[in-house]
Structure 1
């Protein structure tokens, strides 16, 4: 089920699939690995699909807490653009997936690979359930996730890079949502994808209902001696929109992600790496490096800064709902050393919300 199946009120108007794939051209693909001691995988987000790899999108990043990794951010900060797929996996597979993205680009877009490649690979830590030091993720899994990318509804919970992740000491993982924003005579979409692996059980808040303190009885992560403090994990958020934005405006969107996370209860643990990327698929053909175009100048069309508030609200609303969708979409999982991550008890949660 999804968060909107709960008896709660969520602000804003979602797109057709209530997913990041509501943004035209955006595709999501997964590779999920659950054989043996593996509870992990790879998620690929393609802003312009496979054929649009290499066409820049205005982009920017923001880090609430740097106890995590997102490669390629120095180059995004330098040029304000993203040209490659965004991939998400577990902490110790970043290098492997980085290599896999390069291999895929070299095969699918050899002219692009003749230049330098700085893939964006980011992560959260799944070592509670997954044998994270084992080589379960291989370079070819990155290519498989990219090749699997598609528009339409996106699976949530125990899939892709979110396979072994936990959220508020329940099973978490992959979640997504979207909002439609009116701007003059135009309607734009803001889509969010999260890999949710953060939060302590007592913090959990659902649409303003503080349910966490009433759900403390089945909390293996809070009672098992497994070396990580409560709230450890991380959260990655990717925001995409078809609204025309400047790179600095993308950064302003990324800075709003923590407001949506806070609605779900988190106060931002030191042991949680919280890193966010926002991009705009508008202005195709701009933001290219000078040596690949004969034009002396490029132009960007953008929403005026003073008209961005509805887009900020859309980010906050969609981030909150994406986290809740990761929780409601996940199923209980048992992983390495018998570690168990229970699913959010839906019926009991509904009783708490409605009582």
Structure 2
């Protein structure tokens, strides 16, 4: 039985998914991973911050093997070049609104200075990803402050929920209200069992594309789709020229399987396959960026070595390449369900300038799957 602390789930509406989920069916099924939210939802302010801590607050500064992948580059993930160079990640990962990246970046630095001053004494490269919430949110209003990043980190725990929370507060997905979605899978690899967890900030896709469980729900839905109208784009005589399907998705994959950085890059490349199961074709204006990390091999991949110390050579265990397929499958399966969770957990929202986003109707999902 799933014990995740939240409301209704896609499975409750009759949608079936491949694979075996962990007990929470969330990224925090990977031991040590914690997630925290700061949510700002009131009228024209529909935004927030999500913090993903690979090893919890006490593990900040302890590297994880990590890698990234970009399906489409119309987005931002700060710190990515160092992850790709070093194959490691030793800070929390923060997700937010496109125009709040700098604010959250500063907030991560401030939090590390307060709680891990030795780590902050030289240099920090915070990892902050974004998607665009400007349809519902006053994106240029500066409504987040640096301390919101620290509050999201301080709020992190294993009890994560899907829905319009944290950085996902103002997001829309497939022309419905979107947000944050998470799911997990247990994978048998040889004689070992590992967990793969995925968390998405889902803000992508056009309405006709949406499929759940292979059913074309988007084109069948009777729910209003004001985002498909172009009039709202015209402000002060300016038409930014965005298109339906724009908006972006950032995906974080965690696993306790011992994987090398280039194996994690291969895992990150599988996230788009899970997204494709839900219908997206990857819009030109959608920034689709993914990060995968492993909590195994604690103590390896250290770059910050105190002066005068000569540490031993790194020793890393890894899953043989010939056995990685169950981890790929787990990533694809968890990604697919995470999208569904973001949609099903949403509710109707009225944001800035009266812009309205409607949730995927539960009755339509039940009818489609005979629940």
Query: Normalising to structure 1: TM-score of the pair?
Result: 0.98
Compute the RMSD of aligned alpha carbons. Answer: 1.2
Cα distance in structure 2, aligned partners of 1:274 and 1:138: 25
Given the alignment of the two structures, is residue 289 of structure 1 paired with residue 295 of structure 2, yes or no? no
TM-aligned CA deviation for residue 36 of structure 1: 4.5
Given the alignment of the two structures, is residue 128 of structure 1 paired with residue 159 of structure 2, yes or no? no
Please list the CA deviations of residues 237-290 of structure 1 after superposition, one character each: whole Å capped at 9, or x if unmatched: 000000000000000000000100000000000011000000000000000016
State the match for 2:217 in structure 1.
211
Show the 5 A alignment for 1:191-340: 191-215=197-221, 218-227=224-233, 228-289=242-303, 291-292=305-306, 294-340=310-356
Cα distance in structure 2, aligned partners of 1:67 and 1:290: 32
Please list the CA deviations of residues 121-157 of structure 1 after superposition, one character each: whole Å capped at 9, or x if unmatched: 00000000000000111100000000000013x1211
TM-aligned CA deviation for residue 8 of structure 1: 2.4
Kept in 1: contact 2:43–2:351 (CA 8 A): no
Please list the CA deviations of residues 91-121 of structure 1 after superposition, one character each: whole Å capped at 9, or x if unmatched: 0000000000000000000000012100000
TM-aligned CA deviation for residue 348 of structure 1: 1.8
Cα distance in structure 1, aligned partners of 2:334 and 2:58: 27
Given the alignment of the two structures, is residue 107 of structure 1 paired with residue 114 of structure 2, yes or no? yes
State the match for 1:161 in structure 2.
167
Cα distance in structure 2, aligned partners of 1:92 and 1:186: 43
TM-aligned CA deviation for residue 224 of structure 1: 4.9
State the match for 2:239 in structure 1.
none
Kept in 1: contact 2:253–2:331 (CA 8 A): yes
State the match for 2:75 in structure 1.
68
Kept in 1: contact 2:44–2:137 (CA 8 A): yes
Cα distance in structure 2, aligned partners of 1:249 and 1:348: 39
* SS in structure 2 of the partner of residue 218 of structure 1: coil
Show the 5 A alignment for 1:134-145: 134-145=141-152
Cα distance in structure 1, aligned partners of 2:80 and 2:363: 42
Cα distance in structure 2, aligned partners of 1:64 and 1:287: 26
Kept in 2: contact 1:211–1:353 (CA 8 A): no
* SS in structure 1 of the partner of residue 329 of structure 2: helix
Show the 5 A alignment for 1:16-165: 16-152=23-159, 154-165=160-171
Please list the CA deviations of residues 202-254 of structure 1 after superposition, one character each: whole Å capped at 9, or x if unmatched: 00000111111111551111125222310010000000000000000000000
Cα distance in structure 1, aligned partners of 2:274 and 2:73: 18
Query: Normalising to structure 2: TM-score of the pair?
Result: 0.93
Structure 2 spans left out of the alignment, 5+ residues: 1-7, 234-241
Kept in 2: contact 1:191–1:318 (CA 8 A): yes
* SS in structure 2 of the partner of residue 238 of structure 1: strand
Q: Which moved more, 1:178-187 or 1:79-88?
A: 178-187
Kept in 1: contact 2:223–2:358 (CA 8 A): no
State the match for 1:189 in structure 2.
195
TM-aligned CA deviation for residue 6 of structure 1: 2.0
TM-aligned CA deviation for residue 182 of structure 1: 1.3
Kept in 2: contact 1:241–1:280 (CA 8 A): yes
